[in-house]
Chain A
Amino acid sequence: AQSVTQLDSQVPVFEEAPVELRCNYSSSVSVYLFWYVQYPNQGLQLLLKYLSGSTLVESINGFEAEFNKSQTSFHLRKPSVHISDTAEYFCAVSVGYGGSQGNLIFGKGTKLSVKP
């Protein structure tokens, strides 16, 4: 069975500081990896995803994540955060399902709090 661990439930940082949100997964098969962001009282928005190819993936708002198969990790990073990045971030995996994606398995989330 697959599982996702987000080691940090809360990460407070100051504006313009770098940040890393950690995500580790366990799976005996190949997986697809995702980061979603949830702003207060809203649904989840896809931030970035790794399906295949280059292990470094980037989002349009400066986040990046690197798939590390040997360490079974998919940590999310941003070199300089903004107040507007304050949100909860969820790491998720999918193993595919008979030709379709199947369900996503989520971590418990990391609340990023950016302070001025």
Chain B
Amino acid sequence: NAGVMQNPRHLVRRRGQEARLRCSPMKGHSHVYWYRQLPEEGLKFMVYLQKENIIDESGMPKERFSAEFPKEGPSILRIQQVVRGDSAAYFCASSSGLAGSTDTQYFGPGTRLTVL
């Protein structure tokens, strides 16, 4: 049973370009979370999605960032017009939603974004 998949693992963009990060949850999981890890920092929550719904986006920057989790296909975190401060590791986690508030989140290997 494959774990959480993220691609690409490494992404290099120039300032002003767009970055698209993909996350395929574990089989059977319908809940997806995105976190950002800045250098020397812990992970910071960005957004929580279920299929076709954004449940909590309280950690998302107000501009340039968006996320979706369509009925079919992976979850996408999109960053428009990237700036150097967006350079970070972006982690996706998924859970089944079956255990309610005691669900365990399983993390992917992350996408390391470098903005030149």
User: A residues engaging B (CB < 8 A)?
Assistant: 4, 6, 32, 36, 42-46, 49, 51, 90, 94, 96-97, 99-109
- A104 / chain B contacts, CB cutoff of 8 Å: 33, 35, 43, 45, 93, 105
User: B residues engaging A (CB < 8 A)?
Assistant: 4, 6, 31, 33, 35, 40-45, 48, 55-56, 59, 91, 93, 95, 97, 99-110
- B91 / chain A contacts, CB cutoff of 8 Å: 43-44
The answer to whether residues A108 and B31 also contact, given A43-B91, A49-B104 and a CB cut-off of 8 A, is no
In the bound complex, CA of A69 to CA of B52 (Å)? 38
In the bound complex, CA of A94 to CA of B31 (Å)? 15
Tell me if A103 and B45 are in contact (CB < 8 A): yes
Tell me if A45 and B107 are in contact (CB < 8 A): yes
The answer to whether residues A99 and B100 also contact, given A36-B107, A44-B91 and a CB cut-off of 8 A, is yes
Query: Shortest 4 CB-CB distances between A and B: which pairs?
Result: A96-B101, A103-B45, A106-B42, A101-B103
Tell me if A105 and B101 are in contact (CB < 8 A): no
The answer to whether residues A106 and B44 also contact, given A32-B102, A100-B103, A101-B102 and a CB cut-off of 8 A, is yes
- A97 / chain B contacts, CB cutoff of 8 Å: 48, 55-56, 101
Smallest distance from the beta carbon of B73 to chain A beta carbons, Å?
A: 21
Smallest distance from the beta carbon of B104 to chain A beta carbons, Å?
A: 6
Tell me if B43 and A44 are in contact (CB < 8 A): yes
Tell me if B101 and A99 are in contact (CB < 8 A): yes
The answer to whether residues A43 and B109 also contact, given A101-B95, A105-B45 and a CB cut-off of 8 A, is yes
- B99 / chain A contacts, CB cutoff of 8 Å: 101
Tell me if B56 and A101 are in contact (CB < 8 A): no
Q: With A36-B107, A90-B43, A104-B35 given, can you name 4 additional A-B contacts, CB distance below 8 Å?
A: A45-B107, A46-B106, A102-B101, A103-B48
